[in-house]
Amino acid sequence: MRFLADMGVAQRIVKWLRNEGHDAVHLREERLHRLPNGAIFEKAYAESRVILTFDLDFGEIVAISGGKPVSVILFRLHNTRTPHVIERLKKVLKDSGDDLEKGAIVVVEESRHRTRRLPIGTKGAD
């Protein structure tokens, strides 16, 4: 799977994803740390990448995107330490990997995650 990590995501998570065989990049690595959220969304769309973020704005961006199938993993965690985030991400990839490949928003909380397939608001998207 291909990932694009937003600035709030630790670079160690990107390294872990690569070690697991994924194609993952961090905005900082590409010197795009000041890229606006809309441009991050467009980059993910152009490169077929799943956005990893703690930024709630991406849920809204996806909802109004006109059906562009950009998947987002949105972390809503109190414990943002890298080992905890990786443990939650492992569970998401195991349970929701197929949905992410097709287009989905996955909201990750401390003890659960919710997956909504895209486009939001169409039959079969929940």
Q: For residues 113-121, give the mean pLDDT.
A: 83
Confidence band of 124 (pLDDT split at 50, 70, 90):
very low
Sheet architecture: strand order including 2-5: 23-26, 2-5, 50-53, 72-75, 104-108, 113-117
- This prediction has a pTM of 0.91
- H or E stretch including 75? strand 72-75
Confidence band of 15 (pLDDT split at 50, 70, 90):
very high
Question: Quick one: pLDDT at residue 23?
Answer: 98
Question: Quick one: pLDDT at residue 125?
Answer: 46
Confidence band of 120 (pLDDT split at 50, 70, 90):
low
pLDDT, one tens digit per residue, over 54-70 is: 999 887 887 777 667 89
Confidence band of 115 (pLDDT split at 50, 70, 90):
very high
Fold of 2-117: Rossmann fold (3.40.50)
Q: For residues 32-49, give the mean pLDDT.
A: 92
Give the start-to-end residue ranges of the domains of the chain: 2-117
Task: Tell me the two tokens of residue 33.
Answer: 């740390």
Question: Quick one: pLDDT at residue 75?
Answer: 97
Task: Tell me the two tokens of residue 108.
Answer: 């990750």
